[in-house]
Structure 1
Amino acid sequence: MSLTDEIKPMHLDVLREAGNIGAGNAATALSQLLNKKIDLNVPSVRIVDFQEMQKMAGGEEKVVAAAFLRVTGEAPGSMFLILQKEEAEELAFSLTGKEVNIIDDSFDELAASALRELGNILAGAYLSALSDFTSISMQPSVPSLAVDMAGAIISAGLLEISQAGDYAIVIDTVMEEADKEKAANANGQFFLLPDPEAFYKIFQSLGVEWND
């Protein structure tokens, strides 16, 4: 029996609930930052291997914007916030009021800083909620931002880690401006990659019993 066979829908439901609580806290922070009401929710949480992770990010050659950060504390690991090109540009506009193209010179330090701050707010809120659910201390580092093909970003991020597990926890995130009649959703994906021992620790705290 594989490791993921031990993880049941109820365990993922707890992670999704933690994600929605984190999203609620992040929405409050973003609403204050933008001076407009922002809604965030987490429709699903999944466990995937690294090959599937690249596919979900849009494929190895798909250009994306990604915030990358390390998770420190009792369950160390790494996180990616992956935004498709159009969604990164829309969010940069919402945050800065300036239209940008992430693959040319219009994508300046102001826009990059805004997306890093978005990643910082979302990661901090999610990890805080997950810490409360699991009673495991987890804190995010200051994120870095990269614009490149999804495969290159993920590979570079994994190379930066001295060790990595075989699986990622995928937290889908949907962001929208609540007061718009026809609000365009911005969909991002968080990939939480706990270091091997941390992966076991998180799920053991949720009641998963591993069988040898």
Structure 2
Amino acid sequence: MPSFIERINSIHLDILKEVGNIGAGHAATALSTLLDRKVDMKVPDVRIVSFDEMMDLAGGPENIVASVFLRIEGEAPGSMFFVLSLNQAEHFIKLMTGLDCKYNNYSTYPELAVSALQELGNILSGSYLSSLSDFTQLNLYPSVPQLSIDMVGAVISFGLLELSQVSDFAIVIDTAIFEEEDKNESFDGHFFLIPDPASFETIFASLGVPIDEYNN
């Protein structure tokens, strides 16, 4: 019997990329309104990776990042993380609030900066989840997003504490965010969508591409 990861192919990933691009379009519209400037978002790649690869993509277990975590409830439960490097997080804080923040071990971001990052996470995660729900016609509901600024390993381990024994893979949706004034510079983040084990089958079946149908 092929392993789970061997049963996923380019058809499944292409459909997830399309879902991601539509979610990115919704998020770009919301961000443009929030920032009062034109923002464009693209999804250059979607893939399925192991937990170790997920941490490597975010800079390694000891790399400090800004991360928004939420639980997905409903017909395909799971977890979602949006991860930004500190430099990118601080860029968005400045765009959204005018604050010039630098994180270090002795001081954290002021409350206004934290609220800005939470709002950014709300917009992005909500847009992707809404797109996935529309595509699959599944009822999916987000929990209240939680912002963490910590090492990648600690952030992900905390979020997945209850799932670590049963879920081995994450769907990675790369996200490139461009400002209209400078299309040559993008700010790249990662969405990690981690369906509970049975939810992978539910999501792909609802997208019209059951996992086993394309692997016979």
Range into which the TM-score falls when normalised by the shorter chain: over 0.9
Q: Secondary structure at the match of 1:187?
A: strand
Q: Distance in 2 between matches of 1:64 and 1:106?
A: 13
- Which 10-residue stretch deviates more, 199-208 or 48-57? 199-208
Cα deviation, residue 139, structure 1: 2.2
What letter corresponds to residue 154 of structure 1 in structure 2? I
Paired letter, 2:121? G
Aligned counterparts, 1:4-153, within 5 A: 4-103=5-104, 105=107, 107-153=109-155
| Structure 1 unpaired stretches of 5+ | none
Separation in 1 of the partners of 2:95 and 2:165?
Answer: 37
> Is the Cα contact below 8 Å between 2:72 and 2:143 reproduced in 1?
yes
Change in Cα spacing, 1:175 to 1:182, as seen in structure 2 (3 Å) is: closer
Contact 2:41 2:177 in 1 (8 A): yes
C-alpha deviations, 1:161-186, integer Å up to 9, x for none? 586411100010111111x1465311
Question: Cα 1:162–1:177, aligned 2, differ >3 Å: closer, same or farther?
Answer: same
- Scaled by the length of structure 1, the TM-score of the pair is 0.93
Distance 1:67 1:132, change over 3 A: same
The more displaced of 65-74 and 157-166 is 157-166
- Alpha carbons 2:201, 2:211 under 8 Å: kept: no
**Residue 208 of structure 1, CA deviation:** 2.5
How much is the aligned-residue C-alpha RMSD, in angstroms? Answer: 1.8
Output the CA distance in 2 between the equivalents of 1:106 and 1:132. Answer: 37
Unaligned runs of 5+ in 2: none
Partner of 1:158: 160
* 2:179 aligned residue: 177
Q: Could you say if the C-alpha distance between residues 183 and 113 of structure 1 is closer, same or farther in structure 2, counting changes exceeding 3 Å?
A: farther
Change (3 A) 1:87 1:140: same
CA distance in 1: counterparts of 2:27 and 2:149, whole angstroms: 23
Which whole-Å CA distance do the structure 1 matches of 2:42 and 2:49 have between them? 20
Local SS of the residue matching 1:174: strand
Distance 2:101 2:184 in 1: 20
Task: Quote how far apart the aligned CAs of 1:127 are.
Answer: 1.0
The ranges of structure 1 where at least 4 consecutive aligned residues each deviate by more than 6 angstroms after the TM superposition are: none
Q: Are the counterparts in 2 of residues 43 and 174 from structure 1 also a CA contact under 8 Å?
A: yes
Shift of 1:8: 1.4
- Corresponding letter in the other structure for 2:186: N
One-letter amino acid of the structure 2 residue matched with residue 96 of structure 1? T
Task: Give the match's secondary structure for 2:61.
Answer: coil
Secondary structure of 1:171 counterpart:
strand
The equivalent residue for 1:167 is 169
Amino acid at match of 1:119: G
Among the aligned pairs, what percent are the same residue? 54
Q: 2:67–2:147: 8 Å Cα contact kept in structure 1? A: yes
CA–CA separation in structure 2 for the residues paired with 1:197 and 1:177: 38
